[in-house]
């Protein structure tokens, strides 16, 4: 069965669990730095090493960021939430338990909109990260595994969605939107390669039209959005094949192997962990006042969905362009400032996405050496008829190279568009004198030849003549 045959008969149901590292400077329950790439086991203290008697102290900044994330995901922040111990044994978990939130999470009942569809968010809760087991790259790695506890105690939020997604594409779109929102509010870099965003996917299938959900499998080890999509498609196909051949899906955790492209069973329901959750006795309930929530809401920037809609509405951008120009907060700010300085938002959009993007790509840099104000001014100069669009295309790379303003370059190189009547008349008289044949043709009715004559005048002016004025004066002279 091909995937499209599968999807004609069966409907996938997907819910995601996403872990996001908060971009605090210090850990969630101690003052150790969260910096990446430090010497193993150097960013540690009795608290994050899990030494007996050490007491956790909640990082206010981490809570503040978690609240902001929850609000950005349209959740209700609970006035009281409870930290709980989630007990399991693993070498990179020195306390023997993770401090998480269980039946009273930080926030609940949110949603994210993707292309007209609303996907529910069940909850957002806070927890600490474990350390890292390292199996290779160190001395005698074939014999030993190593444990680095620098990451132990790094603040995370876990975002759990409702089983609302119906395809791998929707799951992909959800993650894309989630990442964009979290990056906009600067609560996380969401850098998957550094493990700042990790995602597990729950998948089941049911016959189209069926009401009851099928039994789900949880797929882990998804290292990129692309792998997530591929793993989901594989898993959907596997479950359908199993059902079609008379088998039953069992509830289990499966690992995605990105080399084979397959998911492999890891542990079934019977072997599921019993985490023996109980309230963390070393931390009091987390109480969040309505003033605190209001304060966070106050400082929140405009989010990407609203910005996209506004760019379309206020600047007349096409939907696709609005998407490109709101890809990051820096990009939207840059575009908006350029648009304002240019007096012509659509032209500004074309310059940002076209010539400027090309230069940035060519130089392989992310941040533009041309300020938004300067690019806007360049676009305004075209609008005012001071320079032609063609000339602007030559000026921009110079601005890009040395950060100069368009005005300075035009002044220094004498590039301003010639719209002075006298200067233009002089050029045109010369062109008429030099091209008697074409002038004759024009006068005998072959008016299309005007294009050639305008071209000659433009050439004679090194592209600086105002083409509209040239056209007009030529016609007057030849009439």
Q: Which residue has the tokens 């002279």?
A: 477
| Rounded Cα gap, residues 197 and 373, in angstroms | 35
Note whether 356 and 368 are within 8 A (CB).
yes
Please select the residue that binds Zn ion; options are 38, 45, 408, 416, rule is CB under 5 A: 45
- 446: which residues sit within 8 A by CB, 6+ positions away? none
Choose among ligand ADP, Zn ion, none what residue 160 binds, the Cβ cut-off being 5 to 8 Å by kind: ligand ADP
Please say which residue, 45 or 408, places its beta carbon nearer to Zn ion. Answer: 45
Residue with token string 């009547």:
421
For position 17 contacting ligand ADP by CB under 6 A, the verdict is yes
Q: What's the order of all strands across the beta sheet hosting 97-101?
A: 97-101, 83-87, 278-279
Total residues at the site for ligand ADP (CB under 6 A)? Answer: 14
Q: CB of 63: closest distance to ligand ADP in angstroms? A: 23
Sheet holding 217-222, edge to edge: 76-77, 107-114, 117-128, 155-161, 10-21, 197-207, 217-222, 252-257, 262-268
Tokens of 108: 């609940």
Nearer to Zn ion by C-beta: 40 or 323? 40
Rounded distance, CA 275 to CA 464, Å? Answer: 75
Length of the chain: 479
DSSP state of 26: B
Neighbours of 331 (CB within 10 A): 17
By CB under 6 A, the residues from 374 to 393 that bind ligand ADP are none
Of residues 163, 195, 323, 369, which one binds ligand ADP by CB under 6 A? 163
Considering only CA atoms, which of 200, 194, 250 is closest in space to residue 220? 200
Is 58 near Zn ion (CB under 5 A)? no
Report the partner that residue 32 touches, choosing among ligand ADP, Zn ion, none (CB closer than 5 to 8 A by kind). Answer: Zn ion
Give the x-and-dash track for 295-314 against ligand ADP (CB under 6 A).
--------------------
Cβ partners under 8 Å of residue 136, min gap 6: none
Within 13 A of 233's CA, how many CA atoms are on the CB side?
Answer: 17
Give the relative orientation of helices 421-434 and 467-478 as an angle to the nearest 10 degrees: 60
- Interface residue with ligand ADP among 7, 10, 11, 13 (CB under 6 A) is 13
Q: Which CB atom, from 204 or from 464, has the smaller least distance to ligand ADP?
A: 204
Between the alpha carbon of residue 305 and those of residues 55, 86, 179, 188, 308, the distances in Å are 41, 36, 13, 18, 5
Is 45:34 a contact under the CB 8 Å cutoff?
A: no
Residue 463's binding partner out of ligand ADP, Zn ion, none, with CB under 5 to 8 Å set by partner kind: none
Enclosing H/E stretch for 238: helix 225-244
Taking CB under 6 A as the criterion, the residue among 59, 161, 388, 464 binding ligand ADP is 161
Smaller CB separation from ligand ADP, 25 or 176: 176
Token pair listed for 79: 């006035």
Among 28, 30, 73, 149, binds Zn ion (CB under 5 A): 30
**Helix boundaries (H) for 58-217:** 60-72, 168-184
Shortest reach from residue 302's CB to ligand ADP, in Å: 28
- With a CB cutoff of 8 Å and minimum separation 6, the contacts of 58 are 28, 29, 83, 283, 286
Q: By C-beta, is 29 or 400 nearer to Zn ion?
A: 29
Q: Out of 45, 54, 61, 162, name the contact with ligand ADP by CB under 6 A.
A: 162
Binding test (CB under 6 A) with ligand ADP, winner from 6, 7, 11, 15: 15
Residue with Cβ nearer ligand ADP (220 or 477): 220
239 part of the interface to ligand ADP, by CB under 6 A: no
- Kindly state whether residue 77 participates in binding ligand ADP, applying the rule CB under 6 A: no
The piece of 75-83, 200-208, 254-262, 296-304 that touches ligand ADP (CB under 6 A) is 200-208
Asked if 216 is part of the footprint of ligand ADP (rule: CB under 6 A), the reply reads yes
94: DSSP letter: T
Least Å from the CB of residue 125 to ligand ADP: 12
Choices 22-30, 234-242, 278-286, 320-328 (CB under 5 A): range interacting with Zn ion: 22-30
Whichever of 47 and 75 has its CB closer to Zn ion, that residue is: 47
CB under 6 A: which stretch of 10-18, 54-62, 77-85, 356-364 binds ligand ADP? Answer: 10-18
Strand partners, 201: 16, 219
Supply the minimum distance, in Å, between the C-beta of residue 252 and ligand ADP. 11
Identified binder of Zn ion from the candidate list 22, 32, 65, 352, rule CB under 5 A: 32
The one segment of 169-177, 202-210, 254-262, 319-327 that binds ligand ADP by CB under 6 A: 202-210
DSSP letter assigned to residue 193: G
If one asks whether residue 160 binds ligand ADP (CB under 6 A), the answer comes out as yes
Q: Which residues bind ligand ADP (CB under 6 A)?
A: 13-17, 160-163, 202-204, 213, 216
Q: Which residues bind Zn ion (CB under 5 A)?
A: 30, 32, 45, 47-48
């Amino acid at each position: 069965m091909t995937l499209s045959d599968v999807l004609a008969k069966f409907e996938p149901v997907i819910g995601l669990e996403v872990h996001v590292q908060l971009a605090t400077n210090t850990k969630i329950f101690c003052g150790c730095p969260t910096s990446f790439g430090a010497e193993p086991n150097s960013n540690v203290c009795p608290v994050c090493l899990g030494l007996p008697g050490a007491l956790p102290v909640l990082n206010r900044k981490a809570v503040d960021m978690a609240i902001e994330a929850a609000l950005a995901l349209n959740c209700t922040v609970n006035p009281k939430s409870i930290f709980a111990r989630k007990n399991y044994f693993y070498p990179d978990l020195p306390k023997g338990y993770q401090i998480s939130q269980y039946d009273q999470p930080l926030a609940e009942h949110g949603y994210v909109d993707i292309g007209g569809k609303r996907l529910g968010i069940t909850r957002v809760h806070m927890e600490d990260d474990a350390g890292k087991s390292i199996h290779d790259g160190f001395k005698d790695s074939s014999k030993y595994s190593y444990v680095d506890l620098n990451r132990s105690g790094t603040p995370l939020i876990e975002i759990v969605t409702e089983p609302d997604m119906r395809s791998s594409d929707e799951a992909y779109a959800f993650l894309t939107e989630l990442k964009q929102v979290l990056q906009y509010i600067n609560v996380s870099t969401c850098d998957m390669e550094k493990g700042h965003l990790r995602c597990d996917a729950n998948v089941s299938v049911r016959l189209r039209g069926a009401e009851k959900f099928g039994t789900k499998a949880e797929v882990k080890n998804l290292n990129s959005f692309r792998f997530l999509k591929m793993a989901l498609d594989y898993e959907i196909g596997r479950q359908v094949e199993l059902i079609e051949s008379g088998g039953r899906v069992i509830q289990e955790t499966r690992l995605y192997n990105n080399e084979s492209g397959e998911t492999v069973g890891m542990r079934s329901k019977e072997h599921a962990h019993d985490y023996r959750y109980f309230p963390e006795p070393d931390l009091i309930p987390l109480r969040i006042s309505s003033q605190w929530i209001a304060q966070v809401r106050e400082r929140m920037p405009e989010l990407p969905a609203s910005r996209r809609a506004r760019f379309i509405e206020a600047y007349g951008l096409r939907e696709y362009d609005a998407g490109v120009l709101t890809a990051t907060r820096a990009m939207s700010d840059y575009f908006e400032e350029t648009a304002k300085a240019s007096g012509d938002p659509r032209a500004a959009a074309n310059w940002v996405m076209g010539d400027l993007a090309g230069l940035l790509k060519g130089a392989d840099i992310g941040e533009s050496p041309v300020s938004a104000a300067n690019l806007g001014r360049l676009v305004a100069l075209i609008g005012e008829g001071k320079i032609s669009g063609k000339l602007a295309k030559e000026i921009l790379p110079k601005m890009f190279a040395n950060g100069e303003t368009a005005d300075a370059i035009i002044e220094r190189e004498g590039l301003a568009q010639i719209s002075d009547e006298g200067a233009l008349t002089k050029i045109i008289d010369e062109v008429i004198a030099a091209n008697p044949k074409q002038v004759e043709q024009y006068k005998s009715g072959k008016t299309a030849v005007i294009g050639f004559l305008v071209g000659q005048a433009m050439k004679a002016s090194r592209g600086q003549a105002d083409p509209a004025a040239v056209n007009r004066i030529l016609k007057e002279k030849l009439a």
